[in-house]
């Protein structure tokens, strides 16, 4: 039986049947089970920020797997506090909670917002707990995060949802002013909306939102799961506006393929959390945190953020040229840095299939965007190769 047949017969139908079986990756390249090579600008949906099988990451993971893979949070491991220290040093303080995925990290943010609401209500539970999210946001598929993801395709079939989530519009501060009130515990947003089509929040909007949250004593929660870990050229997306959230979530690129999520929160709000209030068996285990430490070490040694900053202008100019050359099909260049995409006048799936046939892997976003997520250590030559494929495929319409 082929792997494709095995998948169909045995894997739950929530993903549909993927078109290709991948067996190996190296840097920005992957190979399928027929030996065919692809340039991987899907990066496992913004996960493989330092590319496939990076030697330093591999060495760290291998070494840790042979030493101590797991011990639970009943014991201290050597890596989790070091990783948390790195994140806190970057933020100039705060505390970190480790978990295993993006949705779990956002769930921790939402639980923090309940504690903030309780504090705001003078210690009374269940009084202040409204969360304001954005239209077209994607925060995950657990019960809290799904409620904060106001999309019919995500929520349908799973109602009733977590109550008291209001929906405002990204970059429309007035829509937030109408909803953020004394009954509100938190605002949650992605600094660049990823899944719905690469819409950045403007720096001015983020600064106004920060001021509004301060005025109303509301937590500003940033979802950095996709736009964080260097995707936009700064370690976190909010840094581009100078805004400091009260708490934020990370996952995806944090482990470069080893599942790990994290929530950072300011010391002021960390004080809400007492022993026993939250937890997860695998969270921050030595193997996952070794992988994430390796990612930070590679970022430092190889100046990964500089690579994104240095190569982004030409990459985006190349994409813009393709948009301009195909005005009927390509309607807009979207996104920021290495989190960019081309908006089409039609559904992206057939184009993503054509690009794959031509040797380039990328991902759809929303109803009409072809999303390009190169590894953050991609070279000029790899970016040029992708531009050549995009150009040829779109021109052959
Ligand atoms: C911005 C954002 N938040 C949350 C999630 C959910 O993360 P996970 O799939 O790891 O649960 C995603 C995943 O695509 C995401 O892009």
Domain match, 192 and 212 both = yes
Residues 311, 330: Cα–Cα separation, whole Å? 22
Q: Sorting pLDDT into bands at 50, 70 and 90, what band is 327?
A: very high
Q: Is a pLDDT exceeding 80 seen at residue 371?
A: yes
The residue out of 270, 301, 332 marking a domain boundary is 301
Residue 144 beta carbon below 6 angstroms from any ligand 1 atom = no
**40, 252, 269, 338: which is the annotated catalytic residue?**
252
Helix (H) or strand (E) holding 24: strand 22-26
Within this chain, do residues 106 and 248 fall inside the same structural domain, yes or no? yes
Mark which of 272, 301, 330 sits at the end of a domain.
301
Residues 314 and 284 in one domain: no
Q: Which residue has the tokens 């985006």?
A: 316
Q: What tokens does 151 get? A: 């999309």
Tokens of 355: 């690009």
Residue 7 burial (CB count, 10 A): 14
Mean pLDDT of 318-329: 98
* Contact status, residue 222 vs residue 84, Cβ threshold 8 Å: no
Q: How confident is the model at residue 48 (pLDDT cuts 50, 70, 90)?
A: very high
pLDDT at 97 over 90: yes
Q: Answer yes or no: are the C-beta atoms of 111 and 99 closer than 8 Å.
A: no
Q: Is the CB of 101 under 6 A from ligand 1?
A: yes
224 Cα to the center of ligand 1, angstroms: 9
> For the residues of 185-252, what is the DSSP string, one character each?
EEEEE-SEETTTT-EEPPHHHHHHHHHHHHHHT-EEEEE-TTTTTTTTSSSSGGGGTT---SEEEE-G
Q: Measuring from atom 16 of ligand 1, which residue has the nearest CA?
A: 226
Query: Is residue 299 annotated as a catalytic residue, yes or no?
Result: no
Catalytic (active site) residue 252: yes
- Indicate whether 388 pLDDT > 80: yes
Give which of 19, 3, 58, 4 is closest to 290, Cα–Cα.
58
pTM for the full model?
0.98
Give the model's pLDDT for residue 262.
99
Q: Report helix, strand or coil for 333.
A: strand
Residue 174 has pLDDT above 80, yes or no: yes
Look at residue 82 and tell me whether its pLDDT is greater than 90. Answer: yes
> Is the predicted pLDDT of residue 113 greater than 90, yes or no?
yes
Report d(CA 50, CA 39) in Å as an integer: 14
Q: How far is Cα 351 from Cα 354, in angstroms, rounded to an integer?
A: 5
Q: Work out the percent of the chain whose per-residue pLDDT is above 70.
A: 100
What pLDDT, in 10s, does the model give residues 53-64?
999 999 999 999
Q: Is 237 in the pocket of ligand 1 (CB under 6 A)?
A: no
**CATH number of the domain enclosing 362:** 3.90.1150.10
- Average pLDDT for 351-370: 98
345 — pLDDT class (breaks 50, 70, 90): very high
Residue 179: predicted pLDDT? 98
Residues 104 and 22 placed together within one structural domain of the fold:
no
**Ligand 1, closest atom to CA 103?**
11
Does residue 191 have its Cβ closer than 6 Å to ligand 1? no
Ligand 1 atom nearest to CA at 106: 4
pLDDT exceeds cutoff 90 at 205: yes
Domain end marker among 301, 326, 350: 301
Q: Tell whether ligand 1 has an atom less than 6 A from the beta carbon of residue 102.
A: yes
Q: CB of 253 closer than 6 A to ligand 1?
A: no
Whether 309 and 267 share a structural domain: no
Residues 110 and 124 in one domain: yes
Whether 67 sits among the annotated catalytic residues: the reply is no
- Exposure of 352 by Cβ count < 10 A (0-12 exposed, 13-18 middle, 19+ buried)? buried
Show the CA angle centred on residue 223, arms to residues 380 and 316, nearest 5°: 25
Give the count of domains, the chain: 2
Looking at the chain, the whole-number percentage of residues with pLDDT higher than 90 is 100
44 lies in the same domain as 82: no
Which pLDDT value is given to residue 171? Answer: 98
Q: What is the mean pLDDT of residues 156-177?
A: 98
- Examine the domain organization and report whether 189 and 133 are in the same domain: yes
Residue 68 has pLDDT above 90, yes or no: yes
Q: Which atom of ligand 1 is nearest to the CA of 259?
A: 10
**Same domain, yes or no, for 98 and 65?**
yes
In this prediction, residues 222-251 reach a mean pLDDT of 98
Q: Find the length of the chain.
A: 397
> What pLDDT is recorded for position 106?
98
If asked whether residues 43 and 61 sit together in one domain, one would say no
Query: What's the domain range around 364?
Result: 3-54+303-395
pLDDT at position 263, please?
Answer: 99
Please check the confidence at residue 147 and state whether its pLDDT lies above 90.
yes
CATH number of the domain where residue 217 is located: 3.40.640.10
Taking the C-alpha atoms of residue 237 and residue 308, their distance in angstroms, rounded to an integer, is 13
Buried b (16+ CB within 10 A) or exposed e, 137-149: bbbbebebbbbbb
Give Dmax (Cα) for the chain. 64
Q: Which pLDDT score is estimated for 361?
A: 98
- Confidence label for 26 from pLDDT (cuts 50, 70 and 90): very high
For the residues 154-179, what does the mean pLDDT come to? 98
- Shared-domain flag, residues 95 and 169: yes
Rounded (10°) CA dihedral 103, 183, 239, 204: 130
Pocket lining: 223 vs ligand 1, CB cutoff 6 Å: yes
Q: Which of 230, 312, 245, 307 is nearest to 46 (CA)?
A: 230
Q: Is the pLDDT of residue 397 over 90?
A: no
Q: Are 213 and 182 in contact (CB under 8 A)?
A: no
From its phi and psi, is residue 365 left (phi > 0), alpha (psi between -120 and 50) or beta? beta
CB 186 within 8 A of CB 221: yes
**pLDDT at res. 316:** 98
Token pair belonging to 264: 């950072």
Residue tagged active-site, from 97, 98, 138, 269 = 138
pLDDT of residue 358: 98
Mean of the per-residue pLDDT values of the chain:
98
- Residue 319's nearest CA partner among 230, 395, 390 is 390
Phi, psi values for residue 362, rounded to 5°: -145, 180
Closest atom of ligand 1 relative to the 140 alpha carbon? 6
**Residues 288, 314: one domain?**
no
């Amino acid at each position: 039986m082929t792997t494709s047949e095995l998948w169909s017969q045995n894997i739950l139908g929530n993903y549909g049947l993927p078109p290709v079986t991948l067996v190996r990756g190296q840097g920005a390249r992957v190979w399928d089970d027929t030996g065919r090579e692809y340039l991987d600008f899907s990066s496992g949906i913004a996960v493989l920020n330092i590319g496939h099988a990076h030697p330093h990451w591999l060495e760290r993971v291998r070494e840790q797997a042979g030493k101590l893979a797991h011990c639970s949070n009943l014991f201290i491991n050597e890596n989790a506090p070091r990783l948390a220290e790195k994140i806190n040093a970057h933020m100039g303080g705060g505390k970190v909670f480790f978990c295993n995925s993006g949705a779990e990290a956002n769930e921790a943010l939402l639980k923090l917002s309940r504690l903030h609401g309780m504090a705001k209500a003078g210690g009374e539970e269940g009084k202040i707990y409204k969360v304001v999210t954005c239209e077209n946001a994607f925060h995950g598929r657990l019960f809290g995060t799904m409620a904060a993801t106001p999309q019919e395709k995500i929520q349908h079939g799973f109602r009733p949802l977590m109550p008291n989530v209001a929906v405002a519009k990204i970059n429309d501060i007035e829509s937030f002013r109408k909803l953020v009130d004394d009954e509100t515990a938190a605002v949650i947003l992605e600094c660049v909306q990823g899944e719905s089509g690469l819409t950045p929040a403007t720096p001015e909007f983020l600064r106004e939102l920060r001021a509004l949250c301060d005025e109303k004593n509301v937590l500003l929660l940033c979802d950095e799961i996709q736009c964080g870990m260097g995707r936009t050229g700064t370690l976190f997306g909010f840094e581009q506006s100078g805004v400091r959230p009260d708490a934020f979530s990370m996952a995806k690129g944090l482990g470069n393929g080893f599942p790990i999520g994290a929530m950072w929160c300011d010391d002021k709000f960390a004080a809400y959390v007492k022993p026993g209030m939250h937890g997860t068996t695998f969270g921050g285990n030595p193997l996952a945190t070794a992988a994430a430490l390796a990612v930070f070490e590679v970022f430092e040694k190889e100046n990964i953020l500089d690579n994104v900053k240095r190569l982004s202008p030409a990459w985006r100019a190349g994409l813009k040229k393709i948009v301009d050359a195909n005005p009927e099909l390509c309607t807009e260049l979207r996104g920021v840095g290495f989190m960019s995409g081309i908006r089409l006048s039609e559904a992206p799936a057939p184009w993503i299939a054509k690009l794959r046939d031509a040797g380039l892997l990328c991902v759809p976003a929303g109803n009409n965007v072809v999303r390009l997520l190169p590894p953050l250590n991609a070279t000029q030559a790899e970016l040029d190769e992708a531009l050549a494929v995009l150009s040829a495929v779109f021109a052959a319409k």
